[in-house]
Amino acid sequence: MERKDWPLWEVFVRARNGLAHRHFGSLHAADAKMALEMARDVYTRRAEGVSVWVAPSAAIAASDPADKDSLFEPMAEKIYRHPTFYAIPDQVKNL
């Protein structure tokens, strides 16, 4: 009998209502239904979430680590893109 491994799924969990789903990890499962059940047991058994998404890892397009010089390095010296050059008035709270 041919032995096939189950495909890999990426798991996203929303910790609380109002927050965005966050990537939690991955797992193997035969299909989406099983992946959701496995995710429930593997990633939310300590009450980490209120909602789970799973997506086939194969469906995710990722940037190539070899491209990091052109994709991400140039941003390192553009500190003016951070909003850190404003004097914040003392009256402004919660920023």
Partner 1 sequence: MTARFAYLLRLGDTALVLGHRLAEWCGSGPTPEEDIALANIGLDLTGQATAWLDLAGAAEGKGRDADALAYFRDGTDFRNLLLAEQPNEDFGHTMVRQMLFDAWHVELLGGLERSADAGIAAVAAKARREAEYHWRRSSDWVVRLGDGTEQSHARVAESLVRLWPFTGEMFARDAVVAELVTEGIAPEPAPLLQAWNRRVDAILTEATLTRPADGWMQSGGLEGRHGEALGHLLAEMQSLARQHPGAKW
Identify the residue among 19, 28, 60, 73 touching partner 1 (CB under 8 A): 28
Q: Which of 12, 24, 29, 52 binds partner 1 (CB under 8 A)?
A: 29
Site residues for partner 1, 43-82, by CB under 8 A, read 45
Residue that is written with structure tokens 């991400």 in the block: 72
Neighbours of 50 (CB within 10 A): 13
For 12-47, letters b (16+ CB in 10 Å) and e give bbbbeeeeeeeebebbebeeeeebeebbeeebbeee
Q: Does 34 bind partner 1 (CB under 8 A)?
A: yes
Site membership for partner 1, residue 21 (CB under 8 A): no
Total number of residues binding partner 1 (CB under 8 A)?
A: 14
Q: Residue 17 and residue 44: Cα distance in Å, rounded?
A: 15
Positions that interact with partner 1 (CB under 8 A) = 1, 6, 27-30, 33-34, 37-38, 40-42, 45
